[in-house]
Structure 1
Amino acid sequence: MLTLLLAALLMTSPTAPAPEWRTPFETGGGNTTATHAECIAYYQKLATAYPTRLHLGEAGPTDSGLPLHEVVLSPDGDTDPASVRRKNRRILFIQNGIHPGEPEGIDASMMLARDLMQQPKLQKLLATVTVVIVPIYNVGGALNRNSTTRANQNGPAEYGFRGNARHLDLNRDYIKQDSRNARSFAALFQKWQPDVFVETHTSNGADYQYTMTLIPTQHSKLAPALSRYLQQQLLPALYKGMDKKKWPMTPYVDFNGQTPESGLRAFLETPRYSTGYAALFNTIGFMPETHMLKAFAPRVHATYDFLKTMLETVGQQADLLAAARAQATADQAAQTTFPLAWTLDESQHETVQFRGYEGRMKPSDVSGQPRLYYDRTAPFTRPVKHYNTYQPTATATRPTAYLIPQAWGEVVEILRRNGATLEPLAADMTLPVEVQYLEDYKTSPRAYEGHYLHSQVKLRTATESVAFRRGDYVVYLRAGAPVRYLMETLEPQATDSFFAWGFFDSVLQQKEHFSDYVFEDLAADLLRRAPALRERLEALKKQNPAFASNGAAQLEWVYLNSPYHEKGFNRYPVARWLGTGQL
């Protein structure tokens, strides 16, 4: 019986592939995932056999020293994004192996690409949708093959490692782009500007009955037209399609507490994550997350069927999808206020019928203390709350343009890589701009993906005349610009802004100070010549006895409010220009 079941699982395709076209997963008994070399060789074999419909190319370097690859599936061999759009085809972008220990998408995409080439019924799906596949994104992690680092996962026998060649988690690198992988991805993403983006994953966490769970782009963060389309059209079709294929799905299982009774908490994918990044460009993103405790074979086949269902649905809803994206772009052109940070709204929830296992407690064999386990002899289906609404906690109004001093070349390079147009000033000029001073912020005490993140940013805004040099950059937020991307990277209070990731940390350190015994005389003279400043100091002393008894604190206050204090200290270097026209 077990042999028959495994054979059935390995026969997902309506027509079984010829022996020479079976993948390493199919020849390995259902518990084998392709190595990087095997995966790329397989696509090379497909490209040789079907040169007019499948293209394999290099898409840029990775930190491993090996290139990132791009596979394009189209009915006529068209690999030009502009031409594809003129033919009114939607673009589906599938990325696999960002965490190579979660490899289902690697194997599922190999089989899907083959079947799209070899099965006439499936070939028809490419008439309205061009498919772009990144076979393995984290090449370095895939090369670091082992069988132990996914301690909680049920197969495959060997797999890759989560970190890349620089020990970076690439699913935290979409904004900062420290890795060559992320830089190559950004160029590829901007080249295709896909309608739908899918990045395949495997879950961690609780035990439940589902093989497939799903994280869609958080609908609260999407433009209204895209949010409505996602909620009312795309998601219902995907859930229905997977039901028909005998893979019932549930929203990603992240309990609001420890058990299903606490409700499911929708994942907030900020722009550091792939789908959060995609949303900045009005691309709907998905992370299908198979369940780590299910065997590898059903996880691969569930992923195959999800990708196939996505392709079918995007084709069927091509016009609706195009209209929603066009409306989102038009609405964004007129939008004046943008959210920058979000929090879960626990006053709102939906209800889903959840298929789980009872959570119980028993003594730990390790510690003897009570431990949680899920009782697979006690399955249930019951309604649970799904908290799926987020509210903005920080917003910013849209400036006419940002002005960026040329000294910040790393930021300029990232902006250009992600579709922003930066124009150098032709001459020195002094402009009235809105500047922001960093009054307060919190910094993580431990490194996170190579950075010490800032959060809880408090700003003081002022209008000042600032001198800019010839060659400094202006980036306009006019129609056609990646407005949301610019605001969520350049406004310092945004969750994943460049400030949050530490790109401007040098302004947080004071470069000049004073010798107190010398500055005492300068400060006294300054207070004699500036009665208003003296009045402010005396008022502070009356309000704060500790300040009044602290001579050093008073001297520091005078210095900070004097012409001697450096203007660049704690001043955010990117200025907001609110004028009209063009500089």
Structure 2
Amino acid sequence: MTLKPLRARDAIITLLALVACVPILARTSLNSPRTRAEATGFRETSRYSDVVAFIDSLRDRPLTFGSIGRTNEGREIPYIIASYPQVSTPEEARALKRPIVYVQANIHAGEVEGKEALLALVRDLSAAPRPGVLDSIVLIAVPIYNADGNERFASQSVNRSAQDGPELVGVRQNAQGLDLNRDYIKAEAPETRASLAMFNAWDPDVFVDLHTTDGSYHRYALTYAPPLHPSAPLGAYTRDSLLPILQSRMKARHSFETFDYGDFISEDTLSKGWATFDSRPRFGTNYYGLRGRISFLSEAFSHDPFEKRIASTYAFTREILSLVAERAVSILARNSAATQMGVSVAGRPPVALQSQMAAAPKLRPIAAEFLEKTGDTLRSAPGVRRGYRRSGRFQTVSMPVFDRFEPTLLQEAPSGYLISPSDTALVRMLQLHGITVESNFKVRRGRLLTFVLDSARREPRVFQRHNERRIFGRWVQKAFSEMNIPAGLFYVSTHQPRGLLVQYLLEPMSDDGFATWNFFDSQLKPGAVFSVSRVELIYNGIN
């Protein structure tokens, strides 16, 4: 039998699959730099100085180094760009016509395995045989996003009590006391504003956020989620097409069981189901989905030992990169279609302003771990509550899996929104999100709708320095059907690449828009008219 030579692209894909199967520790040369975790037998995690030193040890390699910005306490937030050929600007990356993948770790600085795994992965990929994954993607790695939180080291029993090592870890919040993974809409932290600037400049095709979860005891070394907002254009594709492949490869190539992120609804009655977290875009992966791109949430299992958590995170991230490299043409085409959907004047589906959790169509088997009572009140092992120990025995139960959200309030997109000339703070916030705002709006013919407030509810509990708002009201059209819209206002078109985000942020009844975070509080009087108006422009006699 005569063997046909492999095409170049097929050869790269075959090599990617072979490299992904190699055990992680076998890839690390004795002469390669070692992370703090590796050097200490996985007893310790890296401090900020360790991360900087590790990155410095890679400077003789064809990598690009930089900072996305500074933390609240003035620390640089380092990034590494890995690609063949080497690139250093967004323009150079886009010229390669390949997916840009942005991987972020340590947003919660007690969840430290992503930091260690990402450093090791950049080291290994930059020394791997070619052709390889870096010939098909551009990787932007941000290993220590919450650098200030990382430096607030304390015992893991204090900072991450449900976690099995390492001995000392940082804290969840940044130096301002903010949870950075609840800050993507209001963007109050300098870290968030820096990452938004990177998103705007590089427009990554894929965003990966590395975490660790605790909660229910189960068989899965790692759980994952796509963007959960029901209006995310590529959420269903990520959930139904990409994640099943990753789940299969994690088991076949690395012997890691993985599953959709969630917890048992009831530990006492497992058959009630398994539920994911939240669809709102205050969370990074949900936010990035509303920007019309692919995103993955990675959650290592905190009850597993530190070394295993690093290994599962490393493997999952590596498999994402390989899959993106294999599906590069399809991913770029889908992202382009999502952008065009935002720009289009017609044919865009309505945006989900509010949503509720929903179950997948079929029951799925999930393996729950039994905990054994120890007979005393002492902690038998890190990551297990007092008086119990892990048994290694599992019960598999078929149950509903609530892994998605369905809309409860849909809103058709207007042509755009008008903003009062005095509301420059709102304009600056929109621009932070990469949204184009036109100044000195010229007179045009159209229909103008104003929002009339019926009621507003203020959450009594302070959350992230805010009392969140829920607003109820209605859009009211002027008595006359058409008018000349006055000049001098700010205009925000919904027909732009992030048009979905425009509508979600500015609609008063959105469940996580600017109104939620108190941007309109001064206007919350019954019967008050908002400073933001909906506009239906008339184009050559056509709405």
Q: TM-score with structure 2 length normalisation?
A: 0.86
| Structure 2 residue 499 is matched with structure 1 residue 483 | yes
CA distance in 1, matches of 2:208, 2:235: 17
Give the match for residue 241 of structure 1.
Answer: 249
Q: Is the 8 A contact 1:358 1:374 kept in 2?
A: no
Query: What SS is found at the alignment partner of 1:163?
Result: coil
CA distance in 1, matches of 2:416, 2:471: 25
Counterpart of 1:577 in structure 2: which amino acid?
A: V
| Structure 2 residue 520 is matched with structure 1 residue 504 | yes
Output one character per residue of 1:236-284: Cα deviation in whole Å (capped at 9) or x when no partner. 2111111121111011132233353221113333110001110111111
Higher RCO (CA 8 Å, separation ≥ 6 residues): 2
Q: Is the 8 A contact 1:425 1:469 kept in 2?
A: no
Counterpart of 2:166 in structure 1: which amino acid?
A: P
Task: Number of aligned residue pairs: give it.
Answer: 503
Output one character per residue of 1:130-166: Cα deviation in whole Å (capped at 9) or x when no partner. 1011121112111211112211111111111111110
Give the match for residue 133 of structure 1.
Answer: 141
CA distance in 2, matches of 1:228, 1:149: 35
| Aligned counterpart for 1:40 among listed residues 39, 43, 52 | 52
Query: What SS is found at the alignment partner of 2:119?
Result: helix
CA distance in 2, matches of 1:249, 1:124: 25
Q: CA 1:481–1:232 in structure 2 vs 1: closer, same or farther (change >3 Å)?
A: closer
Output one character per residue of 1:309-360: Cα deviation in whole Å (capped at 9) or x when no partner. 11111111112212222333334433052111111235x5433332221368
Give the match for residue 117 of structure 1.
Answer: 126
Give the match for residue 513 of structure 1.
Answer: none
Higher normalized helix content (fraction of residues): 1
Counterpart of 2:34 in structure 1: which amino acid?
A: R
Query: What SS is found at the alignment partner of 1:455?
Result: strand
- Aligned pairs for 1:424-439 within 5 A: 424-425=439-440, 433-439=448-454
Output one character per residue of 1:1-25: Cα deviation in whole Å (capped at 9) or x when no partner. xxxxxxxxx9724333235511111
| Aligned counterpart for 1:279 among listed residues 272, 278, 289 | 289
| Aligned counterpart for 1:383 among listed residues 371, 374, 398 | 398
Give the match for residue 467 of structure 2.
Answer: 452
Q: Is the 8 A contact 1:213 1:251 kept in 2?
A: yes
> Which stretch of structure 1 is more off in the superposition, 463-472 or 154-163?
463-472
| Structure 2 residue 266 is matched with structure 1 residue 257 | yes
| Structure 2 residue 485 is matched with structure 1 residue 473 | no
State the 4+ residue runs in structure 1 displaced beyond 4 angstroms: 359-366, 371-375, 426-432, 464-471
Deviation of 1:577 after TM superposition, in Å, equals: 1.1
| Structure 2 residue 351 is matched with structure 1 residue 341 | no
CA distance in 1, matches of 2:70, 2:105: 16
CA distance in 1, matches of 2:215, 2:54: 33
Q: Is the 8 A contact 1:439 1:460 kept in 2?
A: no
Deviation of 1:105 after TM superposition, in Å, equals: 0.7
Q: CA 1:324–1:373 in structure 2 vs 1: closer, same or farther (change >3 Å)?
A: farther
Q: Is the 8 A contact 1:455 1:495 kept in 2?
A: yes
Q: CA 1:234–1:219 in structure 2 vs 1: closer, same or farther (change >3 Å)?
A: farther
Deviation of 1:378 after TM superposition, in Å, equals: 3.3
Give the match for residue 158 of structure 1.
Answer: 168
| Aligned counterpart for 1:423 among listed residues 434, 438, 441 | 438
Q: Is the 8 A contact 1:220 1:227 kept in 2?
A: yes
Which structure would you say has the larger Rg? 1
Give the match for residue 82 of structure 1.
Answer: 91
Counterpart of 1:99 in structure 2: which amino acid?
A: H
Give the match for residue 237 of structure 2.
Answer: 229
| Aligned counterpart for 1:194 among listed residues 204, 216, 234 | 204
Counterpart of 2:533 in structure 1: which amino acid?
A: A
Q: Is the 8 A contact 2:441 2:487 kept in 1?
A: yes
RMSD: 2.8
Give the match for residue 542 of structure 1.
Answer: none
Output one character per residue of 1:495-535: Cα deviation in whole Å (capped at 9) or x when no partner. 1110111011111259xxxxxxxxxxxxxxxxxxxxxxxxx
Output one character per residue of 1:107-141: Cα deviation in whole Å (capped at 9) or x when no partner. 001100100111215x6111111101112111211
Output one character per residue of 1:446-487: Cα deviation in whole Å (capped at 9) or x when no partner. 111011111263335342799988653111122x33111101
Q: Is the 8 A contact 2:364 2:399 kept in 1?
A: yes
Query: What SS is found at the alignment partner of 1:120?
Result: coil
Identity of aligned residues (%): 27
Q: CA 1:232–1:292 in structure 2 vs 1: closer, same or farther (change >3 Å)?
A: closer
Structure 1 unaligned regions, length at least 5: 1-9, 511-568
CA distance in 2, matches of 1:105, 1:457: 41
Counterpart of 2:145 in structure 1: which amino acid?
A: Y
Give the match for residue 328 of structure 2.
Answer: 318
Deviation of 1:421 after TM superposition, in Å, equals: 1.1
Structure 2 unaligned regions, length at least 5: 1-21, 379-385
CA distance in 2, matches of 1:203, 1:377: 19
Q: Is the 8 A contact 2:117 2:310 kept in 1?
A: yes
| Aligned counterpart for 1:14 among listed residues 19, 26, 36 | 26
Give the match for residue 29 of structure 1.
Answer: 41
Give the match for residue 550 of structure 1.
Answer: none
Q: TM-score with structure 1 length normalisation?
A: 0.80
Query: What SS is found at the alignment partner of 1:461?
Result: strand
Query: What SS is found at the alignment partner of 1:574?
Result: strand
CA distance in 1, matches of 2:40, 2:67: 28
Deviation of 1:295 after TM superposition, in Å, equals: 0.7
Q: Is the 8 A contact 1:36 1:142 kept in 2?
A: yes
Query: What SS is found at the alignment partner of 1:194?
Result: coil
> Which stretch of structure 1 is more off in the superposition, 455-464 or 288-297?
455-464
Q: Is the 8 A contact 1:264 1:385 kept in 2?
A: yes
Deviation of 1:230 after TM superposition, in Å, equals: 2.0
Q: Is the 8 A contact 1:100 1:138 kept in 2?
A: yes
CA distance in 1, matches of 2:535, 2:316: 46
